[in-house]
Amino acid sequence: MESLSVTEPVLLILLSLTERPRHGYAILQDVQEMSDSRVVLSTGTLYGALRRLLDGAWIERVEEEDAPRGRQSYRLTARGRRNLQLEVGRLKQLTRVAALRVARKET
């Protein structure tokens, strides 16, 4: 895993970009939808995370010819996709262990 820490907002942003490139506002809406409005990102939080992901080359900007002024889209890079897969694998393993432990405690 790269040095960038995957917090819940960062994970949701990455998941939002897995299907297709999205611009800032679309990411905000998708994150809110994915988390059932549990995670509502402010623009400050969103662009802090996007900046770190850009610096780590996990995402990249997409050049759009007819994009309105101030609207910029982002997409996952191969590195970002690989790291996301690693993180998802780690979470799967964690939930598996958690489920086992909880089940053991209940019996």
Partner 1 sequence: MLTIYRLLLYLYPQAHHCEFSEEMLAVFGEARTEAWKKNMLVRGRFCAYEIKGLLTGAAREHIRTICAVDRPPVFFSRRIAMRSEFRFPKATVTLMSIILAGVVLAIEKATAIRVSVPDSSPHVGPIQPAHFTFLPTMLVIMGGACLAGAIGWAILFALHRSGLHRLADFDPASNQASGGRTHA
Rule CB under 8 A: say whether 5 interacts with partner 1: yes
Give the bridge partners for 76, in sequence order.
Answer: 59
Take residue 34 and report the two structure tokens written for it: 């994915």
Residue span 15-54 as binding mask against partner 1, x where in contact by CB under 8 A, dash where not? --------xxx--x----------xxxxxxxxxx-xxx--
Rule CB under 8 A: say whether 92 interacts with partner 1: no
Taking alpha carbons only, the member of 73, 78, 28 closest to residue 58 is 78
Residue showing tokens 């086992």? 100
> How many chain residues are in contact with partner 1, going by CB under 8 A?
32
Rule CB under 8 A: say whether 8 interacts with partner 1: yes
Applying CB under 8 A, among 20, 71, 92, 96 the residue interacting with partner 1 is: 71
Instruction: Give the phi and the psi of residue 61 in degrees, each rounded to 5.
Output: -80, 150
d(CA 39, CA 33): 9
Q: Which residues bind partner 1 (CB under 8 A)?
A: 3-9, 11, 23-25, 28, 39-48, 50-52, 55, 68-72, 91
